[in-house]
A and B are shown apart, each in its own frame.
Chain A
Amino acid sequence: MKFNPSTKKLFTDSNIFIKKLHCPRGVQWDELHAAGPQQRHCAFCEKNVVDIQGREDEAVLLLAQQDKHVCFKLDINDTNIQVINHNVE
């Protein structure tokens, strides 16, 4: 996947837009409680945040398509993430 930290937009490697990662509350992963495999519960929005580390692009895209309000946790140093700083849309 490709991630632009300035726009916070996440794309597949083939430049398909997945979602914009924006948390208006500035929630930190370490503040959340475990809620299953690769998931933690956010009490502010009463839903789980999904850790996408190690997941395939298509699987993450599908999650975003199935629930447009889904929240992801992305590790910028994940080997499956390439940082970009330009527009690919």
Chain B
Amino acid sequence: MSNEKAPDLEVPAFLKKCSEHLEIIERDDISQLRVIKTARDEKSINQAVAEGFFPLLKQVVPSSKIRSKYAVLQNPETGAIQVTGDLRARNREPGYETVIDFTFFYPHSFPSPFAAYLIPSDLKVGERVFLEDLIEDLVGSSWNQGDSYRLQSCQAIWNGKDFDIQHKPIQYDTMIG
């Protein structure tokens, strides 16, 4: 065994930069967070205003990064179809032919092209909250077949004017619930 002292490892610059932005979230604290509601139409926004909330309005803008796929298979004799979103199902059913091959699409729709986070009057700058229904179209996770799924809810920090979203996209392979 060598008695030489191991040289000090130099941390690459890009890793230093990443670590500056890494934020460890204590999962035990999640239940303590205030939940920020979202209103998605004129009536519910004005109702919240009447109840003392300030609506932080945002446009609902679909992201091209969020996409799911589908294909339609058909039995040419009976006309019956099967729809799938999974490449593994391509040749699963004997007697079925592909009539619409795998095609990506945007899988969500919303009641209005605008929405608002309902800000409580006592929300403090720097307060960590839970956004129950995210307005922004952010990728929450992705699957190795090319699909990318929308982030539905997440933690955020109020900066006095807007929320700083606290989320990093993950590779999608398991689901718990």
Residues of chain A at the chain B interface (Cβ within 8 Å): 3-6, 8, 19-29, 31, 44, 49, 71-77, 79, 82-86
Contacts and interface: CB of A to CB of B under 8 A. Distances in A.
A4 B27 CA distance: 26
Q: Report, nearest first, the 9 A-B pairs whose CB atoms are least far apart.
A: A21-B177, A85-B85, A85-B68, A83-B86, A23-B177, A22-B177, A83-B85, A74-B175, A6-B107
B83 interface: yes
B149 interface: yes
A46 to B, nearest CB: 13
Contact of B85 (A44, A71, A84): A84
Contacts of A8: 175, 177
Contact of A76 (B105, B108, B143, B177): B143
Nearest to A75: B174
Q: Say what secondary structure dominates the interface of chain B.
A: mixed
Interface of B: 27, 30-31, 68-70, 83-86, 88-89, 92, 105, 107-108, 143-145, 147, 149-150, 153, 172-177
A21 B176 contact: yes
Nearest to A6: B107
A5 B177 CA distance: 12
22 contacts: A3-B175, A5-B143, A5-B147, A6-B108, A6-B150, A8-B177, A25-B30, A26-B27, A29-B174, A71-B177, A72-B176, A73-B174, A74-B174, A75-B174, A76-B175, A77-B173, A82-B88, A83-B143, A84-B83, A85-B85, A86-B70, A86-B85
A82 B84 contact: yes
Nearest to A23: B177
A21 B172 CA distance: 14
Given A25-B27, A83-B86, A76 B172 contact: yes
Contacts of B149: 5-6
